[in-house]
């Protein structure tokens, strides 16, 4: 779970904001909690940008980023909802799904074939998705993609029949993937944080992970095959407690909105670069890509497709995806 969270924020993250007016002044202090340890590049970059943001407001909007220790067992959602000093969070979409199931729209199994599809579909659907992600108690200011997670195998997989009887390790984030894959006679292993220390004989046959996570875990030699297309896509949401957001003046809301969009864009660009680099490292290390047929992936995708997602949003997403693929197929002819 932690490797996926770190990767998906290299690649997978969270950002929380505390805003309170100082008595007798119009100064606003922000305490920002992230899922990154203090010494990581994302954390350092956010801290650096926060200082710049403070200067643009002549010191009136002061931001302080607080990292998350590696050994913590408290999720970002728990901190966000239970700590009264936290006003907002940059949170992984799978955590927000607990409140709003539509957050899983882009994370449905085999929803996308590649990054080109993601970019094209998000241009059309992001605005609608963000609108559906609003909650009575929270305001969603934007989202930031963090990349794909793939199934990786120790043995060559030709088709879905090869999954029968095999074990697969899934992170807690893969709730939709678990429902889909369980129909193919796969034994699902729990996301034990110490699974990498198990003897080789106890390792699963397959695992669902972001490419960067394998590099961080130094697990490349254990898995020789990477299955395409990716099984799901993850992203981050910047959410604010509505009461805290509504307490701000309109001018401050505009400043914060612009700042958040800038940070989300920066995080996504960084995640894309890291994902590309991770894939190159995996392939240079000997990992081979195996492409599952569209028939196989469509069978998995139809298992639980659109489950608990607003029907109109799911239909809009599917229509955009179908139109893009038809146009791509026409160009390939």
Each residue's pLDDT tens digit, 204-236: 788 888 887 666 555 555 788 998 888 889 999
Collapsing DSSP to helix, strand or coil, 191 comes out as coil
Structure tokens at 286: 């000997």
Q: How far is CA 118 from the centre of its chain?
A: 13
User: In terms of Cα–Cα distance, which of 7, 90, 69, 108 is closest to 265?
Assistant: 90
Using 50, 70 and 90 to split pLDDT, how confident is the model at 200?
Answer: low
Most confident of 105-109, 128-132, 194-198, 308-312: 128-132
The strand pair at 225-228 and 288-291 is best described as: parallel
Which has the higher per-residue pLDDT, 305 or 109? 109
Residues 6+ apart with CB under 8 A from 113: 229
Q: How confident is the model at residue 178 (pLDDT cuts 50, 70, 90)?
A: low
In the predicted model, is pLDDT for residue 170 greater than 80? no
Largest CA distance in the chain: 69
Kindly give, in sequence order, each residue whose CB lies less than 8 Å from that of residue 49, ignoring residues fewer than 6 positions away.
262, 263, 266
Q: Compute how many other C-beta atoms are within 10 angstroms of the C-beta atom of residue 24.
A: 6
Q: Which residues of 255-286 are buried (b: 16+ CB within 10 A; e: fewer)?
A: bbeebbeebbeebbebbbebbeebbeebeeee
Average pLDDT over residues 5-12: 41
- Of residues 237 and 302, which shows the higher confidence score? 237
Q: Is 215 left (phi over 0), alpha (psi -120 to 50) or beta?
A: alpha
User: Looking at per-residue confidence, does 301 or 147 come out higher?
Assistant: 147
CA distances from 305 to 98, 103, 125, 161, 228 (A): 18, 14, 17, 21, 19
Q: Which domain holds residue 164?
A: 2-332
Which domain CATH number covers 254? 3.40.190.170
Identify the three-state secondary structure at position 83. Answer: coil
Helix (H) or strand (E) holding 118: helix 115-132
Q: How confident is the model at residue 304 (pLDDT cuts 50, 70, 90)?
A: low
In the numeric block, the tokens 């002819």 are attached to 333
Segment 248-252 mean pLDDT: 89
Q: How does pLDDT run across 51-96, given as a tens digit for each residue? A: 888 888 788 887 777 777 777 778 888 888 888 888 888 888 988 9
Q: Counting beta carbons within 10 angstroms of the beta carbon of residue 229, is it exposed (0 to 12), middle (13 to 18) or buried (19 or more)?
A: middle
Residue 216 has a pLDDT of 57
For 46, residues 6+ apart whose C-beta sits below 8 A from its C-beta are: 15, 32, 34, 36, 65, 263
**Structure tokens given for 33:** 């909690």
- The band of 22, judged by pLDDT with boundaries at 50, 70 and 90, is very low
pLDDT score of 16 more than 70 = no
* Confidence (pLDDT) at 64: 78
Report how many domains make up the chain.
1
């Amino acid at each position: 779970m932690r490797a996926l969270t770190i990767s998906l924020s290299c690649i997978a993250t969270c950002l929380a904001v505390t805003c309170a007016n100082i008595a007798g002044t119009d100064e606003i202090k922000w305490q920002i909690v992230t899922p990154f340890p203090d010494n990581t590049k994302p954390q350092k970059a956010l801290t650096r940008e926060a200082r710049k943001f403070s200067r643009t407001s002549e010191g009136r909007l002061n931001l302080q980023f607080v990292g998350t220790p590696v050994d913590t067992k408290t999720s970002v959602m728990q901190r966000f909802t239970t700590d009264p000093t936290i006003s907002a969070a940059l949170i992984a979409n799978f955590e927000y799904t607990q409140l709003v199931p539509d957050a899983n729209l882009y994370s449905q199994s085999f929803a996308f074939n590649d990054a080109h599809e993601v970019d094209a579909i998000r241009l059309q659907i992001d605005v609608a998705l963000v609108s559906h992600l609003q909650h009575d108690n929270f305001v969603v200011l934007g989202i930031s993609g963090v990349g794909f997670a793939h199934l990786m195998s120790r043995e060559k997989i030709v088709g879905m029949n090869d999954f029968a009887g095999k074990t697969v390790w899934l992170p807690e984030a893969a709730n939709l993937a678990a429902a889909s894959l369980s129909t193919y006679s796969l034994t699902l292993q729990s996301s034990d944080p110490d699974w990498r220390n198990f003897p080789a004989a106890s390792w699963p046959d397959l695992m669902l992970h972001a490419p960067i996570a394998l590099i961080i875990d130094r697990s490349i030699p254990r898995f020789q095959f990477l299955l395409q297309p990716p099984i799901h896509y993850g992203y981050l949401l910047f959410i604010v407690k509505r009461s805290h957001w509504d307490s701000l003046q309109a001018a401050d809301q505009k400043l914060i909105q612009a700042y958040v969009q800038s940070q989300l864009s920066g995080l996504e660009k960084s995640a894309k670069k890291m994902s590309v680099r991770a894939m190159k490292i995996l392939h240079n290390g000997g990992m081979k890509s195996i492409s599952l047929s569209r028939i196989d992936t469509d069978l998995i995708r139809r298992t639980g497709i659109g489950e608990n997602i607003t029907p109109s949003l799911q239909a809009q997403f599917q229509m955009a995806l179908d139109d893009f693929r038809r146009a791509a197929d026409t160009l390939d002819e």
